[in-house]
Structure 1
Amino acid sequence: MIIGRLALKDIRWTGQGGRHEALWAIRINAAVTAVFVGGLVAISLPGGSDQVAVTDLKAHQCYVLTHEHEIDPHNGIGTLDKVRRVGCGSEHDGEVVGVWDAGRAWSDYPDDQETLESRASQECDRLTHGYARDFWRIPDGSTERYFAPTRSGWRYSGIHQVVCSVESNGAKGTLYQDPAVLGPHRTAYLDAENALDIVRAQVPDSPTADGAMSEWTVYAVHMASAEEAMVRALKAHQWPSDAAGPIAQVEASAQRAAAAWTKADGDREPNAVDRDAKAAEAIDAATPYDAARGSLHLTVSDPAPVRRV
């Protein structure tokens, strides 16, 4: 998987009436590409479709962007009033994967707005992985978004929730995968893989350790820990006989990557950190995830998605 870091873009939303009068910021969290395999199970909402404020959206709900929004396709800046909520079995623009209550993390709006943006990005990434489970089956061209409150919305209208969604024009059906339907083996594998992917996405903004030594060494510590956690999770599960071999190869690769990340953490020169981080990333890129997935009848084609965080 190739991870690319790009700047956040602002989209402004102005609510109508009551507590929705406060200005909100809609942040583009991630652009995710993956191969779409097979049909998606449709979930319909009772009561037809209706217009709602973004703040009223909940997980498992789908929506269509209305004519009341104006977004510049070049810079991602514009306004959004409400969305039209529709059943996920109908054609839609986005699906809500979860809502994170930022009020549990802070009693007041963070002094630095980027702090909220960074945490919202991480929490929405976690919710998306838990909701869709198999990230590789998200339709190509999809965009992961989060809708976060501004300082005025937080303080004067009591809006603390961050709404996380995945958008894909003209989508039908839901991205949700029920662990009970996936079964214990596929769920165990995806949980282990997703935990690593969530940490992997937090790569530092700087492409090298030069001038960002502390960020890269901290990232190396987190990646080493995540690789080791993946090994433990995979070893703890009793796999079917035809999946045991491919998954053992993933375990071995993760162990080598963990060792390389640990070495990067111990380096004291930026060039050395870059060298060992690249070695760890090369090991990860060569990991036979597709073989392990194939043995469990999961999506086996990864188009190297680019994620904007």
Structure 2
Amino acid sequence: MPYTAGPYVGAPGAPGTPGPGAPGAGPYGLPRRTTNGLAVSSLVAGIVCCLPPLGLILGLIALPQIRKKDQAGKGLAVTGIVLSAVSCLLLVLGLVSGGFRTAWSGFKEGVDEASRSKSPFSLRTGQCFSDDGKLEEYTEEVTIVDCDRPHDGEVTGNFKVTGFDKWPGEDAIDEIAQPRCETVNAAYAMDTWAVPQDVWVYYYLPSSQSWRLGDRTVTCAYATEKKPFKGSVRSDASTLTLDQEHFLRSVNPIETVMYREPEDDPDEDFAANKAWSGEMLAAIDAARADLGNYHWSGLPKAPVEALHKELGAASKEWRKLATAADADAYWEAYDTAWDALPDSAEARNELGLTDTPPEGEGTSA
């Protein structure tokens, strides 16, 4: 902040040193008649109306002091008393009629709404939000809402981008954010059947401007660009029982690999399809082993035992697919392998998990 030199305080004629005839001095250098401070305070309190009784009290105290000390300010004190009295009357009428409560309620709602408006980068894990920019690339403001109300997204976690000395560009950060947020989301919502169909992995990236200010945070979320959804999708280790968590850790990899099926069919890329079917076989065998070796506490064994048996049958069919000699043999085993994937709905129901997949998706594993 710039500093400006001024005259020496205390020098004749300098500010702060009244001389004869200067403001603050009376005729022939005698002190002027002072103004009562309480009278001034009474007037101020009466004008701002923040504490009406205070202005009234200060004014009543000031009047006798003014008479006793022969001070100025009687008009200020009287005006303060009148204004404060009017404010007190209005306050009483407001309380009786309910108008004051209505105004205060509106004020509180305004403060609450303002406190809920946040930058996307101030969001915290577990918060649900509505995106005022409708999930556009550059969103400056989101509104935090209760997860039981319709919302556009739910924060699943965040992480900091490292390894760059300068702004790397959005594409570079996007390549990091996509797989990292997929992992974060998978850990946050293990009960994948509880995630609505049109809700997908979403994330907010630092901008070049925020990067220059030190922002390195990627905020991960489940969000939708279509109809807002209600309820939290959170189902992580903090909300699940040990049985539920083990079950989902066992069967979720099958679903994860399932969505990685190559876009090109076996006639166009046989190697990629054969490798993928091998991954599916490994996920099925791992799930079967995990379910069979776990001690289930308080769970009826029948649904899990049935699923374990069906996974064994599915493993045989997927092994045929994974070991197919060529595209023709692959096609021959393809439908049978898919049909062999078991429905885990009954076991999920017994565990207290979501037993109906999102609309439009299959019920396998």
Calculate the TM-score normalised by the size of structure 2: 0.56
For residue 94 of structure 1, what is the aligned residue in structure 2? 153
Q: Percent identity?
A: 18
Q: What is residue 129 of structure 2 aligned with on the other side?
A: 63
- Given that residues 63 and 85 in structure 1 are in contact (C-alpha distance below 8 angstroms), is that contact kept between their aligned partners in structure 2? yes
What does residue 220 of structure 1 align with? 277
Could you say which residue in structure 1 is the equivalent of 2:202?
A: 146
The 8 Å contact of residues 161 and 216 in structure 2, kept in 1 or not, is answered as no
Which moves more between the two structures, 126-135 or 289-298?
126-135
| 2:300 corresponds to | 243
**Residues 150 and 83 from structure 1, CA distance in 2 versus in 1: closer, same or farther, beyond 3 angstroms?**
closer
RMSD across aligned positions (CA): 3.8
- Structure with the largest fraction of helix: 2
Of 332, 342, 353, the residue aligned with 1:298 is: 353
Q: Go from structure 1 to structure 2 and tell me whether the alpha carbon gap of 1:228 and 1:217 turns closer, same or farther (over 3 Å shift).
A: same
Q: Which moved more, 1:215-224 or 1:129-138?
A: 129-138
Q: 1:211 is matched with which residue?
A: 268
- Give, in whole Å, the separation in 1 of the partners of 2:347 and 2:267: 36
Residues 257 and 63 of structure 1, relative CA distance in 2, 3 Å threshold:
same
Alpha-carbon distance change, 274 to 193 in structure 1, aligned in 2, over 3 angstroms: same
String of CA shifts for 1:233-258, please: whole Å, max 9, x gaps. 11121125753121122122222323
What's the TM-score, normalizing by structure 1? Answer: 0.64
Give the residue type in structure 1 aligned to 2:131.
Answer: L
Residue aligning to 1:124: 181
Question: Tell me, which stretches of 5 or more residues in structure 1 are unaligned?
Answer: 1-44, 72-77
- Given that 1:64 and 1:85 are in contact with CA atoms closer than 8 Å, whether structure 2 keeps it comes out as yes
Which structure has more RCO (C-alpha within 8 Å, separation ≥ 6)? 1
2-structure distance, mates of 1:229, 1:169: 37
Relative distance call for 1:122 and 1:213 in structure 2 (3 A) is: farther
| Residue 164 of structure 1, aligned match among 216, 221, 240 | 221
Once the 2 structures are TM-superposed, how far is the Cα of residue 197 of structure 1 from its aligned partner?
1.6
Question: Greater strand share, 1 or 2?
Answer: 1
| CA offsets 1:81-110 (integer angstroms, 9 cap, x no match) | 223141434542111123355648x99999
- Paired with 2:172 and 2:273, the residues of 1 have a C-alpha distance of 19
1:270 aligns with 2:337: no
Q: Which moved more, 1:152-161 or 1:187-196?
A: 152-161
CA deviation profile, 1:40-70 (whole Å, cap 9, x unmatched): xxxxx9x941231x4443421222111xx37
Q: Which amino acid aligns with 2:198?
A: S
For the 8 Å contact 1:179–1:187, the answer to whether it is kept is yes
Q: Is the contact made by 1:224 and 1:258 (CA closer than 8 Å) also made in structure 2?
A: yes
Give the letter aligned to residue 257 of structure 1: A
Q: Distance in 2 between matches of 1:114 and 1:274?
A: 38
Question: Does structure 1 retain, via aligned residues, the 8 Å contact 2:182–2:201?
Answer: no
Q: How many residue pairs were aligned?
A: 246
SS in 1 for 2:356: coil
Which residue of the partner structure matches residue 177 of structure 1?
A: 235
Query: Contact 1:125–1:198 at 8 Å: present in 2 too?
Result: no
Tell me the distance in 2 between the aligned counterparts of 1:137 and 1:192: 17
